[in-house]
Amino acid sequence: MADLEFRIVAETFDSMERITSRTQLTLLLVRLFKETPPEVIDKIVYLIQGKLGPEWKDIPELGVGEKMLIKAIALAFKVNEDKVVKLYRELGDLGRVAEKLCSEYRSKLKGAGQGLLAFMGGTEEAKLTVTRVYESLYKIASAQGEGSRDLKLRILAGLLADAKPLEARYIVRFIEGRLRVGIGDATVLDALATAFGGGVHAREVIERAYNLRADLGLIARIVVEKGIEALREVRPSVGTPIRPMLAERGRDPAEILRKVGGRALVEYKYDGERGQIHKKGDTVYIFSRRLENITSMYPDVVEMVKKHVKADEAIIEGEIVAIDPETLELRPFQELMQRKRKYDIHKIMKEVPVAVFLFDIVLRDGQDLTMKPLLERRKNLEEIIEKSDTFTLATSMITSDPDELWNFFLKAIEEGSEGVMVKAVHDQSIYRAGIRGWLWVKLKKDYKSEMTDTVDLVVVGAFYGKGKRGGKLSSLLMAAYNPDTDTFRTVCKVATGFTDEELERMQDMLKEYIIPHKHPRVDSRLTPDVWLEPKIVAEILGAELTLSPMHTCCLGNVRPGVGISIRFPRFIRWRPDKAPEDATTEKELYEMYRRQLRKVEEEVKA
């Protein structure tokens, strides 16, 4: 089987680490992809993503902590662990530690000659391949049970011993989850389009295929082996999650109805966990908004699906909501999160029962429904669902009247929902997987006043506190997402809303994502005490949106040289259910600012 030297991947990563231009990063990826044999293109993509495969495949975690990594480095390069720890304190990067020790080790072996080299078990000419690195890492992740720790250690030490210094750096960083190459999925899609689709015009075809089969390695392999046209034939498949369709947000019922074409299906927006439910015979999978396999959290939902979905094969979407066990009234999202526990799920299931409110279908007995208008999809959904009190369709109505929409919205709030979803029903109201647009619009209860509406922002940096909080990271630099440039642009610093317990937990949580420089996907005028990888999403509430010369969100959109910021921001909660790319967008904040400005102008005129 054709393969690729891992050295080429490591050199590409090294070049990427020094580049902040997304265009240059894309060109580096294009060059790497063109050098890669088709047989390993999927593995290359996974390594770039910093994982061994898509999250939904339930690939075990590597299970290699800092102590084991230090021990493996010491074992690989024939030094004691104290030396590794000392170097780690000096360099602050275990990847650099491995690189330095690897270089020293190889110099000693080269100077000692081939006899000592063979005696010590090394091989100067050993060349790591992508396949060996990937399969070794997969074996490490798969090692379970008694003796697994020693097996992980042996595999890792053997891999490092055969690595060149630069390769050692990135093997260690991969294991730590800190590649620091600044590449998001959008950049990979651009590079695949340029390398194998004839140019960026092919991005749309590749992205649609990826949205329907959320496995970027698989999509890369298809386009390399079969060509761009093969991706046009990609359809939803049970067991492989689809990237969910996303919604814009609005505040005024009349304006929202105009945006969606004048007439709309309006549904309750429940305060729960969005679930993408796959059924084939008696096999059921449930995937989260982030495409994680959450089937084990909801054994009761699995039984509901088997009983109430009258189709052999289906992919349907709904909201899983906590309910009161006696009254069946809706309960808040926070209560549902108790289901996240890994143990005693059947006990928690009784304490926190759930109901499922379905709102869409994308596959029915082999028929791809993603290109069908919403009302046709809704009809298909109704035909296969046998309703019950806890497994039913989302409460809905069809209207073209703003007043009727507003009254329905108020009714939804009164009954415990967050608000309503307003969805286009015209002929082009297809299911646009992975896309945010005006086919779906959220109207939530907070949208009727300045900034009582919360936003979801990404942590990109942190500042140390003073006084009681001295020495602790206690203020976070938050950013909104710009999907057009695949970047995160700063909006505010948030330091309030954290309990003492949350502050303590936050120190360990942030430590995992600290990097020595600004991430290539972050656009910031401020320089925090520490930079962080844009991985963590938090829900933030503020008093109002205001112009700021310090922040880059919507920079220049309102006035030259100034961006938009949040005044008096306050932390509400972490959003582990959301990926960074699911955060509130720059465009959404700009629209919120414009609505706020119009309201102020109306009040002044009045």
* Residues carrying an active site annotation: 269
Which residue is listed with tokens 């994680």?
292
Output 100-105 pairs: Cβ under 8 A, ≥24 positions apart. Answer: 100/165, 101/73, 101/77, 101/168, 102/76, 102/77, 102/160, 102/163, 102/164, 102/165, 102/168, 103/165, 104/77, 105/76, 105/77, 105/78, 105/79
Task: Kindly tell me the sign of the dihedral angle through the C-alpha atoms of 7, 8, 9, 11.
Answer: positive
CB 392 within 8 A of CB 358: yes
Q: How many CA atoms lie less than 13 Å away from 366 in the CB half-sphere?
A: 0
Phi-psi region of 146 (alpha: psi -120 to 50; beta: other; left: phi over 0): beta
β-sheet bridge partners, residue 248: 441
| Of 195, 249, 243, the residue nearest 216 (C-alpha) | 243
CB 215 within 8 A of CB 53: yes
**What are the CA-CA distances from residue 582 to residues 34, 187, 321, 426, 578 (Å)?**
31, 16, 20, 26, 6
Task: Say how far apart CA 381 and CA 309 lie, in whole Å.
Answer: 9
CB 404 within 8 A of CB 261: no
Q: What is the DSSP letter of 547?
A: E
Tokens of 228: 């761009």
| Of 345, 336, 241, 335, the residue nearest 286 (C-alpha) | 241
